[in-house]
Amino acid sequence: MVVAGIYPTIDEFVESLRPGMVAVADVVYAALGCSAAKAQEALADKDQVVVSHDNCPHQSVICGPAAQLTAVVERLRSQGILVQ
Query: Could you write out the DSSP letters of every residue in 22-67?
Result: S-----EEEEESS-HHHHHHHTTT-TT-EEEEEEETTEEEEEE-HH
The DSSP output letter for 81 is -
Q: What is the pLDDT of residue 70?
A: 93
Region of 51 (left: φ > 0; alpha: ψ -120 to 50; beta: rest) is: beta
Report pLDDT for 24: 66
User: What is the C-alpha separation between 47 and 33, in angstroms, rounded?
Assistant: 21
pLDDT of amino acid 2:
66
Record: fold of 23-78: Alpha-Beta Plaits (3.30.70)
Q: What is the pLDDT of residues 25-74, one digit of tens each?
A: 788 999 999 999 999 999 989 889 999 999 999 999 999 999 899 999 99
Every domain of the chain and the residues it spans? 23-78
